[in-house]
Amino acid sequence: MIKKKRITLKDFSAVDIFCGVGGLTHGLILESIQVKIGIDFDSTCKYAFEKNNNAKFIHKDVTELSATELRKYFPKGKKKILVGCAPCQPFSLYNHKTAKDPAKQQADNKWKLLYSFGDLIEKVKPDIISMENVPMLVKFNKGKVFNDFVSKLEQLNYNISWEIVNAQDYGVPQRRKRLILLGSKFGKINLIEKTVENNKYKTVRDAIGHLPPVEDGISHPDDLLHRARKLTDLNKKRIRATAEGGFWRDWDTSLWLTCHKKESGKDFNSVYGRMKWDEVAPTMTTHCIGLNNGRFGHPDQDRAISLREASLIQSFPEDYEFIDPVATFNSQNIAKHIGNAVPVGLGIAIAKSIKKHIEQIG
C-alpha cells in the first residue's frame, strides 16, 4: 500500500491581489508562506513591495486580469493560496454616510472589484483564500455585495468563516476594525484566537517611543521617512495648546476654526488631536500625517506623526523601505500607501491561521 504524501506548508504558494506596498504579503512571508507575486493597480507601490518582500510586482487592474494569466503566477506543482484586500473606499463608513446619491455610490465601479475577485476564484480554483476589508462591507447595499461574494464561494464548495476583528487584539498598536474572511477546499478554517491577553495592548509608546525627536517639515538625517509635515504658524500654536490625548477644545477660542463654533462642529473630537502615549493609536488613514485629519498629533512633540511613525503604528518593521531613490519624494503618496495597507501584524495573524489549517489537514 502506497502511503499518501503528507501536505505541508512547502507545498503552497500565494499570490496577493490588491497587494499595495505589501503589508499582507510581508505578514505571510514572516510566517514562511511563499509569496512570489503581488498585483496592484497603483504602480507607485512597486518599489516598496519588491524591495521588502523579494517578490515580483505586477502592475494590473484586477478587472483586466485573466484567469489564465493568474494561473501562470503560481509555481508549477504548488497548491494555491489567493489573498486580497479589495480597495475599501466604496464600503467605508465615511463614504456611506456622506454619499449624496446612494444610487450613484452603489454604481461605483470600485465595489465591482470584489465581484472580479470572486470571478477569478471561480476560474482559478485556489485551494485556500483570504479576503480582508472594512466591516462596513457586510452592510453595504443591504449586504448584497458581501453576501454575493460569500454565496459564490459556498457554491464553489469552499468552507468559509468570517469575523470582524480589531487589529489591536493581534499586536497592532492601533484601533482598527477589519473584516477577515478565510476559505478552504480542504475543510474548516478559522482565524486564530486573539494573541493579546488581558487587554495588554501594544501602545503608541511601545511602537514609536524609541524614535528620536524631529521638527515638523525636517527629515531625520538617519531616516528620511522619519519626517512630519510642515505646520503653519497658526497650526503650531494649536498643537502647542493641545495636551496629550486632547484636541481642539483645549484651545483658547481665538484658535478655533469656524466649523468648531457651529453646533454641527462640536462633535469633531478627533481633528487636531494628540495621541496618548500609553494607549493604542487611532486608525491610520491615507491622511495619517495631517494634523487636521484626525487624532494624528504626536503625544508630546509639537507636530503630527511622521511617516515612519505611521508605518510603525501599522506594524511595518522599522527597516521597511518606502522611498524609491529614483522617484520624486511624495509624502502624501507614501502616507496613502501606509494608510491603505493591511497591518503587518494582521497579516501575520492571517498567515498563522492558514498555517494552522494546513497542519490540521496534513
What domain count does the chain have? 1
Does 186 fall in a domain?
yes
Strands 79-84 and 128-133: parallel
Average pLDDT value for residue range 254-279: 73
Residue type, 100: K
Q: Is the pLDDT of residue 175 over 80?
A: yes
Classify strands 35-40 and 12-17 as parallel, antiparallel or unpaired: parallel
Query: What is the separation, in whole angstroms, between the first and last Cα of the chain?
Result: 19
> Whole-angstrom Cα distance, residue 299 to residue 285?
18
Instruction: pLDDT band for 24, please (50, 70, 90 cuts).
Output: very high
- What are the tens digits of pLDDT across the range 332-345? 999 999 999 999 99
Cβ-in-10-Å burial (0-12, 13-18, 19+) of 110 comes to middle
At residue 107, the pLDDT reads 44
- Is residue 240 assigned to a domain? no
pLDDT for 262 beyond 80: no
Cβ within 8 Å of residue 118, ≥6 positions away: 148, 149, 152, 153
For residue 230, tell me if it sits in a domain: no
Give residue 250's pLDDT band: very low, low, confident or very high (50, 70, 90). confident
What's residue 247's pLDDT?
84
Within a domain: residue 310?
no
* Residues paired with 177 in a beta bridge: 166
Q: What is the pLDDT of residues 47-98, one digit of tens each?
A: 999 999 999 999 999 999 999 999 999 999 999 999 998 875 544 444 444 4
Q: Residue 102 — pLDDT band, cuts 50, 70, 90?
A: very low
Query: Looking at the predicted structure, is the pLDDT value of residue 285 above 70?
Result: yes
Closest CA to 26 of 302, 315, 326, 281: 315
Q: Choosing from 85, 88, 259, 288, which is the catalytic residue?
A: 88
pLDDT band at 33 (very low <50, low <70, confident <90, very high): very high
Tell me the C-alpha distance between 19 and 43, whole Å.
11
In a domain, 290, yes or no: no
Q: What is the mean pLDDT of residues 104-132?
A: 83
Known catalytic residue at 88: yes
Per the prediction, the chain carries an average pLDDT of: 90
Mean pLDDT of 237-249: 91
**pLDDT confidence of residue 214:** 98
- Please check the confidence at residue 263 and state whether its pLDDT lies above 70: no
Residues 6+ apart with CB under 8 A from 87: 18, 110, 113, 340
Check if the beta carbon of residue 241 is closer than 8 Å to that of residue 250.
yes
C-alpha cell at position 166 = 480589531
Pairing of strands 128-133, 177-184: antiparallel
Q: What integer pLDDT is reported at residue 104 of this predicted model?
A: 46
Query: Domain range spanning residue 47?
Result: 9-198+342-361
DSSP secondary structure code for residue 221 in this structure: T
Kindly report, residue by residue over 301-349, the tens digit of the pLDDT: 999 999 999 999 999 999 999 999 999 999 999 999 999 999 999 999 9
Of the candidates 116, 188, 178, 180, the residue with the CA atom closest to the CA atom of residue 152: 116
- Let me know if residue 227 belongs to a domain: no
**Concatenated DSSP letters of 225-249:** T--BPPPPHHHHHHHHT--TT--GG
pLDDT of residue 254: 75
- What is the spatial distance between Cα 87 and Cα 113, in angstroms, rounded to a whole number? 8
User: Is the per-residue pLDDT at 244 higher than 50?
Assistant: yes
Q: How far apart are CA 107 and CA 112, in angstroms?
A: 9
CATH number of the domain where residue 101 is located? 3.40.50.150
Report the candidate in 333, 361, 356 with the shortest Cα–Cα distance to residue 33: 356
CB-neighbour burial class of residue 241 (10 A; exposed 0-12, middle 13-18, buried 19+): middle
State how far the Cα of 63 lies from the Cα of 115, in Å rounded to an integer: 9
What the block records as the C-alpha cell of 362 is 496534513
**Phi, psi angle pair for 265, to nearest 5°:** -95, -5
For residue 125, is it within any domain?
yes
Three cell numbers, residue 90: 466604496
HSE-CB at 262 with a 13 A cutoff on CA atoms is: 6
Percent of the chain scoring above 70 in pLDDT: 89
Tell me the pTM: 0.92
Q: Report helix, strand or coil for 285.
A: coil
Query: Is residue 51 domain-resident?
Result: yes
pLDDT reported for residue 91 = 45
Contact 289, 229 (CB under 8 A): yes
